[in-house]
């Protein structure tokens, strides 16, 4: 099993160089698979909740300015590049540039496909056919060609190792042509503006919840009031992201409690103390929920961790 520090380092140097910001304790799960499609590269990434920052110093370090076409297979991510923000859910596509700084917040465990277009090739084959249009980050909602391209990327991720070189070139050519066609299509500017405003608000709400999830009194009503919106609008934002307010809070508290139970520096604390400290007000309910979520009781998880640590010493 890879150590957490090694996992974090692997994230920093996966398909491009990035900085990371933990959501609580270090991540437990991360994988990145590189699939060659002729002159394009497809990366399949699975990762725990985390914040990724592509910074100016990262761009200077790896000198990668590829254009990125990404889709979500599982989970929701919040993306910001320049002054544009997106909330990406499964079924949509996002166009980004690795040559410009960006941030991605993985709000849940995430399964993601990212197709790299070399910058020179993208400028010639895609931007070169867009009359008087320059690159800008874009979110493309499900439907039409977007759904077709998402299906192609999923299929490629499953079968890329079996493609012969001529087949790789044929698939890469089709992906280039379809990407150019999607980006040439007329854009609903008002939709993009509205979505960007909603994503910025959703990000602020998640940051508020991340800072206050340990408050046992935290509720949808309290969250809506603190952010100056109605309960209906709050639930609508989370529904569009494919999650619910209550489920997010419950999951975040359970993960934080699990991390505390695994922390040897907190071994003096009783399970009930950890539960109360992470926003639960009923130890019995906490234990049942914990077992249901992680398939092990809080006490057994802690005992197993102690045995493993003793064996490693």
Indicate whether 286 belongs to any domain.
yes
- Do residue 26 and residue 165 come from a single domain? yes
Indicate whether 11 belongs to any domain.
yes
Reported as half-sphere exposure (CB side, CA atoms, 13 A), residue 119 has a value of 9
Distance of alpha carbon 94 from alpha carbon 96, whole angstroms: 6
| Domain termination residue (choose one: 181, 201, 231) | 181
Task: Kindly report, residue by residue over 209-230, the tens digit of the pLDDT.
Answer: 999 999 999 999 999 999 999 9
- Do residue 247 and residue 297 come from a single domain? yes
Distance of alpha carbon 221 from alpha carbon 149, whole angstroms: 40
pLDDT for the residue numbered 130: 63
Distance of alpha carbon 117 from alpha carbon 68, whole angstroms: 6
Task: Please give, one letter per residue, the 3-state secondary structure of 258-310.
Answer: HHHHHCHHHCCCCHHHHHHHCCCCCHHHHHHHHHHHHCCCHHHHHHHHHHHHH
- 277 or 199: whose pLDDT is higher? 277
pLDDT for the residue numbered 2: 38
- Report the percent of the chain where pLDDT is more than 90: 54
- 191 or 52: whose pLDDT is higher? 52
> Helix and strand tally (H, E) in the chain?
12, 11
pLDDT for the residue numbered 117: 96
- The CATH number for 272's domain is 1.10.10.60
Q: How many CB atoms lie within 10 A of CB 132?
A: 4
pLDDT band at 125 (very low <50, low <70, confident <90, very high): confident
Structural contact between residues 93 and 69, judged by C-beta atoms closer than 8 angstroms = yes
Per-residue pLDDT for 187 more than 60? no
- Do residue 80 and residue 220 come from a single domain? no
Indicate whether 203 belongs to any domain.
no
Domain total for the chain?
2
Indicate whether 189 belongs to any domain.
no
Task: Please give, one letter per residue, the 3-state secondary structure of 5-24.
Answer: HHHHHHHHECCCECEEEECC
The distance between the two most distant Cα atoms of the chain, rounded to a whole number of Å, is 66
- Do residue 55 and residue 140 come from a single domain? yes
Q: Among 75-79, 229-233, 292-296, 307-311, name the one with the lowest average pLDDT.
A: 307-311
Indicate whether 142 belongs to any domain.
yes
Specify the pTM: 0.74
Structural contact between residues 89 and 72, judged by C-beta atoms closer than 8 angstroms = yes
| Domain termination residue (choose one: 164, 181, 198) | 181
Task: Kindly report, residue by residue over 249-287, the tens digit of the pLDDT.
Answer: 998 999 899 989 988 899 899 999 999 999 999 999 999
pLDDT for the residue numbered 191: 63
Q: What is the mean pLDDT of the chain?
A: 88
Average pLDDT, stretch 25-43? Answer: 89
What phi, psi does 310 have (nearest 5°)?
-65, -35
Indicate whether 258 belongs to any domain.
yes
- Do residue 12 and residue 157 come from a single domain? yes
> Which candidate, 123, 77, 81, places its Cα nearest to that of 103?
81
Structural contact between residues 211 and 98, judged by C-beta atoms closer than 8 angstroms = no
| Domain termination residue (choose one: 157, 181, 205) | 181
Q: Spell 136-156 as b/e; 16+ CB within 10 A means b.
A: ebbbbeeeeebeebbebbeeb
- Do residue 98 and residue 173 come from a single domain? yes
Structural domain containing residue 294: 213-312
- Do residue 13 and residue 108 come from a single domain? yes
Per-residue pLDDT for 183 more than 90? no
Residue 41: its H or E element: strand 40-47
What phi, psi does 53 have (nearest 5°)?
-125, 120
- Do residue 22 and residue 67 come from a single domain? yes
Structural contact between residues 105 and 78, judged by C-beta atoms closer than 8 angstroms = yes
- Do residue 230 and residue 138 come from a single domain? no
Q: Among 6-10, 28-32, 193-197, 256-260, name the one with the lowest average pLDDT.
A: 193-197
- Do residue 174 and residue 225 come from a single domain? no
What phi, psi does 111 have (nearest 5°)?
-125, 120
- Do residue 244 and residue 296 come from a single domain? yes
Q: Bridge-partner residues for 19, per DSSP?
A: 53
Task: Kindly report, residue by residue over 62-121, the tens digit of the pLDDT.
Answer: 999 999 999 999 999 999 999 889 899 999 999 999 999 999 999 888 999 999 999 999
- Do residue 55 and residue 174 come from a single domain? yes
Indicate whether 199 belongs to any domain.
no
End-to-end CA distance of the chain: 17
- The CATH number for 61's domain is 2.60.120.280
Indicate whether 80 belongs to any domain.
yes
pLDDT for the residue numbered 3: 42
Q: Among 45-49, 184-188, 225-229, name the one with the lowest average pLDDT.
A: 184-188
Q: Bridge-partner residues for 93, per DSSP?
A: 71, 140
Strands 138-140 and 84-88: unpaired
């Amino acid at each position: 099993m890879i150590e957490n520090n090694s996992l974090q380092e692997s994230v920093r140097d996966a398909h491009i160089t990035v900085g990371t910001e933990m959501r609580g304790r270090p991540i437990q799960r991360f994988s990145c698979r590189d699939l060659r499609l002729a002159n394009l590269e497809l990366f399949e990434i699975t990762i725990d909740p985390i914040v990724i920052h592509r910074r100016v110093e990262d761009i200077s370090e790896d000198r990668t300015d590829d254009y990125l076409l990404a889709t979500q297979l599982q989970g929701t991510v919040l993306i910001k590049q320049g002054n544009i923000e997106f909330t990406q859910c499964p079924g949509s596509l996002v166009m980004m540039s690795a040559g410009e700084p960006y941030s991605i917040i993985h709000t849940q465990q995430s399964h993601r496909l990212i197709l790299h277009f070399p910058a020179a090739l993208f400028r010639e084959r895609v931007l070169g056919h867009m009359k008087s249009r320059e690159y800008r980050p874009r979110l493309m909602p499900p439907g039409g060609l977007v759904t077709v391209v998402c299906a192609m990327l999923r299929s490629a991720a499953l079968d890329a190792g079996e493609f012969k070189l001529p087949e790789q070139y044929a698939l890469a050519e089709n992906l280039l042509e379809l990407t150019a066609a999607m980006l040439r299509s007329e854009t609903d500017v008002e939709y993009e503006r509205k979505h960007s405003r909603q994503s910025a608000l959703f990000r602020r709400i998640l940051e508020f919840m991340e800072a206050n999830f340990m408050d046992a009194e935290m509720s949808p009503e309290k969250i809506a009031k603190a952010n100056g919106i109605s309960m209906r609008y709050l639930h609508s934002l989370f529904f569009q992201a494919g999650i619910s307010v209550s489920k997010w809070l419950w999951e975040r508290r359970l993960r934080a409690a699990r991390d505390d139970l695994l922390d040897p520096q907190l071994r003096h604390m009783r399970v009930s103390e950890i539960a109360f400290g992470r926003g639960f007000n009923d130890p019995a309910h906490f234990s049942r929920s914990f077992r249901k979520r992680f398939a092990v009781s809080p006490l057994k998880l802690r005992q197993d961790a102690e045995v493993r640590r003793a064996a490693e010493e």
